[in-house]
Structures are given as structure tokens and as C-alpha cells.
């Protein structure tokens, strides 16, 4: 697609600096540090840099991070991963950046809007230039001689602002959906931990019984723990919303009021223990898909093992017929991250689709994810199935399902909405950057 905006040599606009190469002993303490992974995975430098590096004042001055700075990866395993970028939207005090990246800092007097730059450097309009110039030895690399041949297509500053602000609002909408999903998942995890790891309702009932209280008093104590309400608030709930009170009481009665010994130590009375293997139903998959298989207009989503977010869509019939009544979750064979799906989907390589085997899938999803390390990068399937967990009664598993299934409906809805908006953004982005769309007519009220 031809671009009507002027093509300006990149080095006329930016000064180039390489990042810091430090030893392992210098990481994990010190000052904020922008990592290769953060540059690779986002349009923008994260608002807060959580990684730290032991850097000197001289290093902080040379490799500082200021508003408008563009960071690009200068080395990678493949051409397609070379020159990935993100842009800083503010100044970061005492921060530095990774040595596998280059910093492009706008020269004095340069009029380039940071949000426009973020989407331009992440677009095919720029990345196609990188691919055409990249040289491959043992790794793809981006050197300063190559930068001399790169250009930036730059409209006037008003058009830059219109384009950057519009695309930024769409991107932030999707980002907010992701943050909301994280909160919803944390709520489900917190309930799981309270019920099935810390055994809070059981402890509350056992304490009342030990003090000579009645089973009714024990159930009320469990209801307080489960709901977070006081006794007076529970009385008001019974009066004003008797159906909710009854449901809460039913949940409390499914928790026992005593413990018994097991191979895991004390567990609630009447529960059992089991390795995860017999609880997991591994589904067979005939076809697995890659990024090359994706079509922009496909109807069936593909779940990937890298982030276990949507990889994209494909036209093929769904391999996994997950439904809200019978959800499926996937296990990333290398990355050990879990994702629950309520709708039919296909899978990418190294993804294992699972359901519960004689147990509820929602409960099993959280039981499995709690038992697996998220930090190591190696094959984990055999390790996963050997882990032993306490198994509550099926009625209690179903009570948990009833509490959290609405959260996952919201998560699924947010994912679908974000995917649709991301596709729209990616479809419109080249038309905006090329000048095909009249940017003065953009509606910035996204």
C-alpha cells in the first residue's frame, strides 16, 4: 500500500544508543530496568517497571528513559522477531534498558508524537523495512548501518495526534479489559484458596463445635467466612433476600466441621486425596494450528501456549467443543500457564486441552493451576499429573462452580470484545498510517 506521508530518514529524527549488558548478579535489586521481554510484547513502556538492575549514575544518564523514546530489539532468533518496539509516554527516574535493545531518542526540534511513533514502529510499514534489511548469521541482528536505510513516514503533527490518540484509546480499552479479567481471576483464585487450601469455612465450623456450639451455629460461622458478612448482616440478608440466604446456607452445609489425617496432612473430614492424573481428562486433537494458519475473518478461535490468549481465528471446524456447561481448559506444555474456555476452539502446538474426569472442570482448573510452577521453562506434563491434591466432595466442587462461573462468563466476553477491537485496530492501522483514511474525521470518543 503506497503511503502519501513524507518519508524521512530515521537517523534524521532520532539519536541511537545501545542498552546495558550486565551480569546476573546485578539484577533483582537496584533501580528500574526495561527488559527485552517488555519491549517485545507491548506498544508502550509499562507504566511501572517492576524489574531492577544495579546501575551507576553514569549508566542511568547514558541509558535513561524519557518521554518519546523508542526502544527496539536489536537481536533475535528470527527475522520476524527483530526490531520489535515500544515507546515511553513519560520520564522514568533512574531507569535504564536492556542491552539487546536500542534506544531511539528524538533529536532536538523533532516533531514526532509519541503515540503515533508507537503504532508506526509496530506496523508493517516499518517492520517490512526491517525484514528487508535484516542479515542472518547465527541470529538476526539490527546494526547501526542498517538504521541508515530506514525511514519514518511522518504526517503533520495534528494528523499524528489524531492517529496516535485514536489507536491508543482502542489499545487502552483492550488493556483495561485484560486488567479487569485479571481481577476477576484473582477473585476466583482467592475463593478457591479460602475454601480448598486454607479450609477457612471448615476451621470456622470446627471451632464452634469445639466450643460446644450447635451445628446451626457452626453453619452460621461458615456463612460469615464465605460471605464476608457479619451475623447482623446475615440476618438482614435472610429478611430481604431469603433466596440468597438459603443458597449461602446450603453452601455452608457442604463443608464438614472436622478434619482428618491424610498423606497431605490434615484435610477436611470426608474429603480424599489424589494425584491430578486420574482427575484430568486429556482430549485428543487431530489438527494443531500455527500463526501461518490464521485468517483475519476466521470464525473459530485458536488458543496458543505462549500467553494462552487468543492466537487468532481460523475457518476450520472447532476441535474442542467447549461450552459454558462443559468448559475446557488448556495447559501450555512448556510455559505452564492455564486458560479456561467456555466456547469451542482450536489449539496451537504444545497445548493440551483438558476437562475434569469425574470432577468439576472449574474446580479442577484452579486446583491444577495452583499446583504447577509458572516460573520454569521445560516440559511439565508428567510433573503436573503426579501432583497430589485434596479433593472435596462433588457437591462442594459444584458450589464453587456456581460461585465463579459468572466471573468466567465476563472474562470470556471481555476476551471476545478485545479480540474484535484488536482486529479492527490492526485492519485500520495501515490505512491510517498510509494516509488512505482522512484522519481529521476520526472519532476520538472510543
Round to whole Å and give the CA distance between 269 and 343. 36
User: Of 277, 281, 276, which Cα lies nearest the Cα of 354?
Assistant: 281
pLDDT per residue as tens digits for the range 177-229: 999 999 999 999 999 999 999 999 999 999 999 999 999 999 999 999 999 99
- Count of C-beta atoms within a 10 Å radius of residue 310: 20
* 232: helix, strand or coil: helix
The pLDDT value given to residue 186 = 95
Q: What is the pLDDT of residue 1?
A: 57
Q: Which of these ranges, 44-53, 58-67, 126-135, has the smallest mean pLDDT?
A: 126-135
320: β partners? 345
| DSSP codes of every residue in 52-115 | EE---HHHHHHT-B-TT-EEEE-EESSGGGTT-EEE-SS-BTT-EEBTTEEEEEEPTT----HH
Could you tell me which residues are beta bridge partners of residue 135? 141
- Domains located in the chain, CATH noted: 7-154 (3.90.220.20), 187-270+399-406 (no CATH), 277-391 (3.90.220.20)
Confidence grade of residue 350 (pLDDT, cut at 50, 70, 90): confident
User: Percent of the chain scored above 70 by pLDDT?
Assistant: 89
- 356, burial (CB in 10 Å: exposed 0-12, middle 13-18, buried 19+): buried
Amino acid at each position: 500500500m503506497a503511503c502519501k506521508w513524507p518519508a524521512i530518514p530515521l537517523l534524521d529524527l532520532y539519536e541511537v544508543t545501545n542498552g546495558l549488558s550486565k551480569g546476573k548478579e546485578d539484577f533483582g535489586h537496584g533501580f528500574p530496568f526495561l527488559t527485552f521481554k517488555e519491549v517485545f510484547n507491548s506498544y508502550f513502556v509499562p507504566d511501572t517497571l517492576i524489574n531492577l538492575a544495579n546501575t551507576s549514575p553514569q549508566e542511568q544518564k547514558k541509558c535513561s528513559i524519557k518521554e518519546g523514546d523508542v526502544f527496539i530489539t536489536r537481536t533475535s532468533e528470527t527475522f520476524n522477531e527483530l526490531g520489535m518496539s515500544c515507546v515511553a509516554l513519560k520520564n522514568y527516574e533512574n531507569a535504564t534498558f536492556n542491552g539487546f535493545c536500542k534506544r531511539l531518542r528524538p533529536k532536538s526540534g523533532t516533531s514526532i508524537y509519541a503515540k503515533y511513533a508507537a503504532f508506526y514502529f509496530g506496523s508493517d510499514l516499518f517492520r517490512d523495512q526491517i525484514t528487508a534489511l535484516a542479515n542472518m548469521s547465527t541470529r538476526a541482528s539490527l546494526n547501526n548501518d542498517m538504521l541508515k536505510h530506514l525511514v519514518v513516514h511522518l504526517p503533520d503533527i495534528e494528523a499524528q495526534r489524531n492517529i496516535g490518540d485514536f489507536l491508543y484509546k482502542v489499545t487502552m480499552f483492550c488493556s483495561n479489559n485484560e486488567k479487569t479479567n485479571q481481577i476477576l481471576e484473582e477473585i476466583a483464585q482467592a475463593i478457591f484458596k479460602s475454601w480448598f487450601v486454607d479450609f477457612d469455612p471448615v476451621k470456622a465450623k470446627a471451632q464452634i463445635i469445639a466450643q460446644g456450639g450447635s451445628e446451626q451455629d457452626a453453619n452460621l460461622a461458615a456463612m460469615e467466612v464465605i460471605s464476608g458478612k457479619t451475623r447482623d448482616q446475615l440476618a438482614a440478608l435472610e429478611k430481604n433476600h431469603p433466596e440468597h440466604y438459603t443458597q449461602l446456607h446450603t453452601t455452608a452445609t457442604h463443608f464438614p466441621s472436622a478434619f482428618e489425617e491424610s498423606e497431605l496432612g490434615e484435610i477436611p473430614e470426608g474429603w480424599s486425596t489424589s494425584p491430578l492424573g486420574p482427575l484430568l481428562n486429556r482430549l485428543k486433537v487431530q489438527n494443531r494450528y500455527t500463526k501461518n494458519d490464521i485468517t483475519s475473518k476466521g470464525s473459530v478461535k485458536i488458543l496458543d501456549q505462549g500467553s494462552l490468549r487468543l492466537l487468532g481465528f481460523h475457518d476450520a471446524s472447532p476441535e474442542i467443543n467447549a461450552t459454558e456447561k462443559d468448559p475446557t481448559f488448556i495447559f501450555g506444555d512448556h510455559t505452564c500457564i492455564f486458560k479456561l474456555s467456555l466456547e469451542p476452539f482450536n489449539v496451537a502446538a504444545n497445548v493440551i486441552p483438558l476437562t475434569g474426569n469425574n470432577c468439576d472442570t472449574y474446580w479442577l482448573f484452579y486446583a491444577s493451576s495452583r499446583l504447577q510452577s509458572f516460573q520454569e521453562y521445560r516440559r511439565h506434563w508428567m510433573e503436573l499429573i503426579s501432583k497430589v491434591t485434596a479433593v472435596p466432595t462433588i457437591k462442594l466442587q459444584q458450589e464453587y462452580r456456581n460461585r465463579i462461573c459468572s466471573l468466567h462468563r465476563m472474562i470470556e466476553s471481555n476476551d471476545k470484545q478485545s479480540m474484535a477491537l484488536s482486529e479492527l485496530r490492526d485492519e485500520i492501522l495501515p490505512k491510517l498510517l498510509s494516509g488512505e483514511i482522512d484522519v481529521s474525521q476520526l472519532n476520538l470518543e472510543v
